[in-house]
């Protein structure tokens, strides 16, 4: 299968075979062509050349309806749900003929039971966290009983526990029901734990095919990136112990960010942040560990002006900042890389240059040619510095691969030269090469004096990067330690609510 977009060969004569009863991994860096290949299978992208055979017979797949009639279904990298509708309504969306509310609701219930994907069919999608929205997408796909299920990075929005649940049900789908799953991902551990075989793509071509039991993480990473990469392995962890960074001013100077007894209530009245107090120093990377849903997101939302406090104070460089006023957090020098970049980080309809300027309105106000040129130049610089794969500053955001859209957000927030950078799950959805790059960027920003609040559910990420670690549980800090005092076990216990 081949597909070009202008000068880019997204897929260049790609051969792939997916067998009955297997989970087939498709691994590759950001922009390797994985999503394009899958979209050709589902009829969303028209191939330039190539052929598709289902059960040995050549088929023409012109649109997702044709794909569905051949038993092929896909759960997309980015959601296509209608927020104003309920779960069952979304599942029914696209059905032809008369809608039977009870019929669809029953089907949702059956599928939930069968695959262990619990959900309330009457919940509004707008009220659901991302993990549950993912579940709706999956149920919607499963309801059409596809023989071939395509998952494009399904776990980039799931917690580790949710991912385990999903993979357990996929195992059942292939082993008990003899169906096939194509799983796109760039998480090496996922590939090793979940798949039967792996096809690896780089720059639009297949570079390797492996039987999963015959490879290890290092082999996969090398094949994927085309060079040896740093992996976050146990060995790597113990090395980073010895090269711990020395933080400038070690707490003697004024903190760049302070939370004093901050309280946030949800609409029902219960506390989401409960008397939360902590401070972040100049050039410090403060890791906030915790099981997702324990208030991390509320902190990021609060500092983005999306939520209101019901008590306490937030200080930047020693002055109280009322972050509930639009723009005041940004004016005070707080930059936020949001967790759900697709929802709150970018505008798909705008160009890469426009998205890069979103948090710098001065670059947007067009006072004639000079500003336009300045903007073009700044965008081109950022595209180069952050290795964003796109056709140029004028490329519409929707033409970028998922990982590259994410780099645009990172580039923009780091380029704003903030005092405080809140990075929520900053490496989620990035490939190993990009993770390596991202962690270097964060270290560099800290080195230049930016205080970094690293919110992450990946313990490895926290242990690798943070100078100091806070553990949050139910909106409260349950423990604090320096990097050298931290162990996985200790953090794990605190994450579960133990107080040391
Ligand atoms: N509609 C489009 N118009 C122009 N270029 C496109 C379009 N769709 C994809 N591309 C380009 O094709 C290349 C492959 O993109 P694709 O989305 O298939 O990558 P991917 O492997 O899924 O990456 P990621 O892991 O970041 O999601 C990228 O360079 C991307 O910018
Ligand atoms: Mg993709």
| 263-289 tens-digit pLDDT | 999 877 788 999 999 999 999 999 999
Query: What are φ and ψ of residue 390, in 5° steps?
Result: -160, 170
**What was the pLDDT predicted at 362?**
52
Residue span of the structural domain in which 168 resides: 3-229
Q: What angle do CA 188, 194, 199 make, to 5 degrees?
A: 60
Judge if 179 and 248 occupy the same domain.
Answer: no
Judge if 464 and 349 occupy the same domain.
Answer: yes
What value does the mean pLDDT take over residues 222-245?
56
Q: Is the CB of 398 under 6 A from ligand 1?
A: no
Residue 500 inside a domain? The answer is no
Residue 122 inside a domain? The answer is yes
Judge if 167 and 287 occupy the same domain.
Answer: no
Judge if 322 and 260 occupy the same domain.
Answer: yes
pLDDT averaged over every residue in the chain? 85
Judge if 312 and 406 occupy the same domain.
Answer: yes
Closest ligand to the CA of 405: 1
Q: With bands split at pLDDT 50, 70 and 90, how would you rate the model's confidence at 232? A: low
Closest ligand to the CA of 152: 2
| H or E element, residue 422 | strand 420-424
Above 50 in pLDDT, residue 250?
no
Above 50 in pLDDT, residue 315?
yes
Judge if 225 and 251 occupy the same domain.
Answer: no
**What was the pLDDT predicted at 24?**
97
Select from 172, 196, 229 the last residue of a domain.
Answer: 229
Lowest mean pLDDT among 248-262, 293-307, 392-406: 248-262
What value does the mean pLDDT take over residues 481-494?
86
Select from 201, 229, 257 the last residue of a domain.
Answer: 229
Q: With bands split at pLDDT 50, 70 and 90, how would you rate the model's confidence at 234? A: very low
Q: Which residues contact 358 (CB under 8 A, 6 or more apart)?
A: 346, 347, 412
> Can you tell me whether residue 84 is helix, strand or coil?
coil
Among protein residues, the one with the nearest Cα to ligand 1's atom 19 is 31
Q: How many angstroms separate the Cα of 11 from the Cα of each of 146, 185, 427?
A: 25, 17, 25
How close is the Cα of 126 to the center of ligand 1, in Å? 28
Lowest mean pLDDT among 39-48, 129-138, 240-249: 240-249
How close is the Cα of 97 to the center of ligand 1, in Å? 35
Residue 146 inside a domain? The answer is yes
Report the predicted TM-score, pTM, of the whole model to 2 decimal places.
0.70
Distance CA 412, CA 377 (A): 14
Residue 98 inside a domain? The answer is yes
What value does the mean pLDDT take over residues 92-120?
83
Judge if 253 and 194 occupy the same domain.
Answer: no
Residue 234 inside a domain? The answer is no
Q: Is the CB of 465 under 6 A from ligand 1?
A: no
Q: Is the CB of 44 under 6 A from ligand 1?
A: no
* Count of beta carbons in the 10 Å neighbourhood of residue 242: 7
Judge if 385 and 297 occupy the same domain.
Answer: yes
**What was the pLDDT predicted at 192?**
92
* Structural domain total, the chain: 2
Residue 81 inside a domain? The answer is yes
Find the CATH number of the domain harbouring 210. Answer: 3.40.50.300
**What was the pLDDT predicted at 247?**
47
**Shortest CA distance to 264 belongs to which of 229, 310, 301, 321?**
310
Select from 229, 252, 284 the last residue of a domain.
Answer: 229
Residue 236 inside a domain? The answer is no
Judge if 202 and 107 occupy the same domain.
Answer: yes
Judge if 150 and 293 occupy the same domain.
Answer: no
Closest ligand to the CA of 400: 1
Judge if 222 and 293 occupy the same domain.
Answer: no
pLDDT digits (tens, 9 = 90+) for 386-436: 889 898 999 999 899 888 888 898 889 888 889 999 999 888 878 888 888
Residue 235 inside a domain? The answer is no
Judge if 208 and 269 occupy the same domain.
Answer: no
**What was the pLDDT predicted at 44?**
93
């Amino acid at each position: 299968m081949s597909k070009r977009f202008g000068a880019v060969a997204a897929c260049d004569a790609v051969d792939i075979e997916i067998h009955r009863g297997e989970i087939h991994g498709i691994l590759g860096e950001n922009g390797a062509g994985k999503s394009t290949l899958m979209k050709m299978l589902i009829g969303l992208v028209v191939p330039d050349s190539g052929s598709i055979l289902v059960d040995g017979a050549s088929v023409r797949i012109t649109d997702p309806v044709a794909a569905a009639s051949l038993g092929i279904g896909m759960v997309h990298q980015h959601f296509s749900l209608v927020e104003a509708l309920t779960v069952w309504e979304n599942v029914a969306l696209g059905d032809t003929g008369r809608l039977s509310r009870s019929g669809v609701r029953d089907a949702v219930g059956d599928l939930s039971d069968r695959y262990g994907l619990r959900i309330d069919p009457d919940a509004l999608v707008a009220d659901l966290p991302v993990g549950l929205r993912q579940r709706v997408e999956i149920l919607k796909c499963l309801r059409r009983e596809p023989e071939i299920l395509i998952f494009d990075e399904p776990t980039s929005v799931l917690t580790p526990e949710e991912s385990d649940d999903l993979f357990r049900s996929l195992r059942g789908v292939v082993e008990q029901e003899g169906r096939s799953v194509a799983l796109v991902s760039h998480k090496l551990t996922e590939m090793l734990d979940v798949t039967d075989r792996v096809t690896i793509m780089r720059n639009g071509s297949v570079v390797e095919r492996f039987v999963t039991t015959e490879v290890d993480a290092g082999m996969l990473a090398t094949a994927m990136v085309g060079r040896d990469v740093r992996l976050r392995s146990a060995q790597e962890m113990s090395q980073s112990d010895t090269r711990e960074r020395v933080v400038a001013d070690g707490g003697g100077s004024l903190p760049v960010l302070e939370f004093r007894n901050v309280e946030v209530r949800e609409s029902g009245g219960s506390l989401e942040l409960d008397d939360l107090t902590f401070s972040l120093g100049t050039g410090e990377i403060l890791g906030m560990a915790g099981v997702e849903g324990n208030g991390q997101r509320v902190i990021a939302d609060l500092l983005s002006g999306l939520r209101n406090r019901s008590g306490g104070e937030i200080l930047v460089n020693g002055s109280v900042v009322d972050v509930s006023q639009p723009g005041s957090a940004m004016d005070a020098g707080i930059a936020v890389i949001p967790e759900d970049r697709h929802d709150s980080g970018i505008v798909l309809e705008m160009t890469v240059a426009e998205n890069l300027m979103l948090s710098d309105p001065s670059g947007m106000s067009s006072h004639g040619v000079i500003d336009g040129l300045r903007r073009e130049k700044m965008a081109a610089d950022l595209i180069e510095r952050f290795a964003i794969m796109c056709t140029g500053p004028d490329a519409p955001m929707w033409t970028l691969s998922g990982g590259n859209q994410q780099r645009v957000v990172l580039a923009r927030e780091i380029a704003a030269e903030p005092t405080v950078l809140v990075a929520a799950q900053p490496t989620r959805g990035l490939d190993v090469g990009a993770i390596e790059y991202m962690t270097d960027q964060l270290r560099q920003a800290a080195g230049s004096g930016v205080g970094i609040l690293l919110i992450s559910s990946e313990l490895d990420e926290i242990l690798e990067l943070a100078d100091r670690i806070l553990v949050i549980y139910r909106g409260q800090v349950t423990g604090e330690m320096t990097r050298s005092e931290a162990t996985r076990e200790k953090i794990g216990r605190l994450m579960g609510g133990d107080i040391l």
